[in-house]
Amino acid sequence: MGTTLEKEIKRRKTFGIISHPDAGKTTLTEKLLLFGGAIQEAGAVKSNKIKKGAASDFMEIERQRGISVATSVLAFEYKGKKINILDTPGHKDFAEDTYRTLTAVDSVIVVIDVAKGVEEQTEKLVQVCRMRNIPMLVFINKLDREGKDAFDLLDEVEQKLHLRVTPLSWPIGMGLDFQGIFNMWENNLKFFTEEKKQKIGDSIEIKDINDNLINDFIGDQAAENLRNEQELIHSVYPKFSKEEYLNGTLQPVFFGSALNNFGVQELLDAFVEIAPNPLPKMSDIRLVRPEETNFTGFVFKIHANMDPKHRDRLAFVKIVSGIFKRNTNYLHVRQNKMMKFSSPAAFFADKKEVVEESYPGDIVGLHDTGNFRIGDTLTEGEKLNFKGIPSFSPEHFRYINNEDPMKTKQLAKGIDQLMDEGVAQLFTLEMNNRKIIGTVGALQFEVIQYRLEHEYSAKCSYEPVHIHKACWVETDDEKSTEFLEFKRVKQKFLAKDKFGQLVFLADSAFSISMTLEKFPSIKLHFTNEF
């Protein structure tokens, strides 16, 4: 076991920030980078926001729409730790991108707007994290604004997100009366300074909550409230346990204001102390541990045409075990082909750089000319495939037609590559070979059309098709009379996905239940991984 490898693994923390759009994910990301010294420019200036600059968006379409279409990687060092933030699009139409990114994180920070509380997108994303027992920290943001009562908010988080929470920091006042934060993690009080709330005030150490010093700083009334609230917290919420946090059964909560750089350091300090190092990952044959000396990794994201001048793609690989080295032959398991990479990219806050070696938890970007698909595994020769990157049934379906017969090849190539990237899913009807595109959000149809035109010079149009859900079909016996009968009766609704798996494109929930009743030996799945 290489000692450098072990040391580097212990240094690494790879996580994602999830939230409903506008809760403050971008702002928090920026502040974390500021603390890490990864970016220099001061905080609360709107034009510095990452989403408007070049630091985290690569694609023109992203700038155009002002939506974080892409998932980017931002790395920084803090207190000797190497921290990788995998940014996740908050827009619901790109939820599948986010789900896939969540397969590559070892923990998550959930950002919630104090006034809006738990919103729809947060609910969905937290559900995915809960299913995978990902350790989660919660950051309640925008305390400088009037919002919900802190206790009510914690109730809401418990009920709507089904989390078991315990606060590790506590707000003193809110909105105009926001005075600061009592940090229960480190037992100190931090103040919003009186005259200029954009600055972080001094902190005082509190050994005892009954210390009169508190009254001197925040006044008698606020001090009494704080004491009562602390008493309530201790009687109502479980004591923090790192073990419970790590196994996903307890979620610590922090309060603050990302815009004002307030409460962020408390969050970050606790994060570096408790967040998990790179975790083992299950493959189809065995559990792979980061400390294993042989390199393994998997593709969780493909990003096309980062540089419009070179039509290349970048496959984002999460390193699961061993050390990834430049110019070294690795096995692309699905293609059973050895490949080496001369310019693997590592990501920093504002740039990417060719890297010689990377360690578990890190993300490397591999230039790709069309070899990779989401979910592909790289190893030093072992034939294993990492699990847990399923395609989900799309929500929207349309026929896709070629609008320029001279560009048939370009269209086919474009569709093929966009599907590899996971922008949408392609289904080919068995009956007549017509192609149907399925997406998570309606916006993707526009993205596909735009990108086919701008990147592949191909034109497409859509036609409505009435499909409720894509169901992946499983049978034990493809030759059974029942299965053959199913295929005959449902002929019109059967298609193949990109991997050649049989899919039943059901037009209603009723049709699904009828099918299951009539053909009991057949199983229908809403994801392609079963």
> Binding site for GTP, residues?
19-26, 87-91, 141-144
Kindly tell me which residue out of 9, 15, 18, 26 binds ligand G4P, with binding defined by CB under 6 A: 26
Distance CA 272, CA 185 (A): 13
Q: Is 239 in the site for ligand G4P (CB under 6 A)?
A: no
Binding track over 76-115 against ligand G4P, x by CB under 6 A: --------------x-------------------------
Q: Which of residues 199-238 bind ligand G4P (CB under 6 A)?
A: none
Q: Is 22 in the site for ligand G4P (CB under 6 A)?
A: yes
* Lookup result for tokens 């001090």: 223
Strand order in the sheet with 180-183: 169-172, 180-183, 188-192, 200-205
Q: Which stretch binds ligand G4P (CB under 6 A): 14-22, 344-352, 373-381, 394-402?
A: 14-22
DSSP annotation of 493 reads G
> In 276-430, which residue ranges form alpha helices assigned H by DSSP?
408-421
> In 289-440, which residue ranges form alpha helices assigned H by DSSP?
408-421
As annotated, the binding site includes 19-26, 87-91, 141-144
Shortest distance in whole angstroms from residue 26 CB to ligand G4P = 3
Kindly tell me which residue out of 1, 3, 46, 207 binds ligand G4P, with binding defined by CB under 6 A: 46
Q: b/e per residue, 34-66, with b = 16+ CB within 10 A?
A: bbbebbeeebbeeebbbbeeebbbbbebbeeee
How distant is the alpha carbon of residue 12 from its chain centre? 17
- Which H helix or E strand runs over 400? strand 396-402
* Lookup result for tokens 């083992």: 280
Kindly tell me which residue out of 63, 92, 130, 145 binds ligand G4P, with binding defined by CB under 6 A: 145
Shortest distance in whole angstroms from residue 93 CB to ligand G4P = 14
Range list of β-strands (E), 79-125: 81-86, 107-113
Q: Is 196 in the site for ligand G4P (CB under 6 A)?
A: no
Q: Is 32 in the site for ligand G4P (CB under 6 A)?
A: no
Kindly tell me which residue out of 5, 9, 18, 24 binds ligand G4P, with binding defined by CB under 6 A: 24
Q: Is 23 in the site for ligand G4P (CB under 6 A)?
A: yes
Binding track over 245-284 against ligand G4P, x by CB under 6 A: ------------xxxx------------------------
Asked if 306 contacts 312 with a C-beta cutoff of 8 angstroms, the reply is yes
Shortest distance in whole angstroms from residue 363 CB to ligand G4P = 20
Instruction: Give the CB-side neighbour count of residue 163, counting CA atoms within 13 A.
Output: 34
* Nearer to ligand G4P (CB atom), residue 29 or residue 417: 29
Structure tokens, 400: 């896709």
Q: Is 147 in the site for ligand G4P (CB under 6 A)?
A: no
Distance CA 163, CA 155 (A): 10
- Which residues are paired to 283 by β-bridges? 386
* Nearer to ligand G4P (CB atom), residue 268 or residue 323: 268
Q: Is 321 in the site for ligand G4P (CB under 6 A)?
A: no
Distance CA 34, CA 200 (A): 14
User: How many residues in the shown chain lie near ligand G4P by CB under 6 A?
Assistant: 20
Q: Is 49 in the site for ligand G4P (CB under 6 A)?
A: yes
Q: Is 121 in the site for ligand G4P (CB under 6 A)?
A: no
Nearest to 126 by CA among 114, 145, 112: 112
Q: Which stretch binds ligand G4P (CB under 6 A): 24-32, 304-312, 352-360, 415-423?
A: 24-32
Kindly tell me which residue out of 96, 144, 266, 368 binds ligand G4P, with binding defined by CB under 6 A: 144
Pairing of strands 313-321, 165-167: unpaired
Pairing of strands 251-255, 136-141: parallel
- Interacting residues with ligand G4P (CB under 6 A): 19, 21-27, 46, 49, 51, 90, 141-142, 144-145, 257-260
